[in-house]
Amino acid sequence: MALVLYIMAIGAAYRGLADIRKRGPTEEIREMARAMQLSMWMVILGGMFLTTGFGGVPFAIMGLAVSFKLAVAAQMKKAGVMVASA
């Protein structure tokens, strides 16, 4: 059960970054989303071979991804652009 929840959390964070990467308001924000996706992949791959899989780093990256998505949604809402709910 814990593995399912862990994978769902990683998937939700990754999908949020993918939406920003594809439809972000500026090129800089799209590049930041791309960099966060890359760091997420590095943490996932490192977790497969090291003992950091359930440490604090993957959860910190997931938290940063969610907060980044919320910040971009707030910025787009302020600019008057319709966004999907976070």
The pLDDT-based confidence of 86 (bands split at 50, 70, 90) is very low
d(CA 53, CA 50): 7
d(CA 2, CA 6): 6
Digit-coded pLDDT (tens) for 35-54: 999 998 888 888 777 776 56
Q: Global pTM?
A: 0.75
Backbone angles phi, psi at 55, to 5 degrees: -75, -165
Q: Exposed/middle/buried for 4, CB within 10 Å: 0-12, 13-18, 19+? A: exposed
Digit-coded pLDDT (tens) for 50-80: 776 567 888 888 999 999 999 999 988 888 7
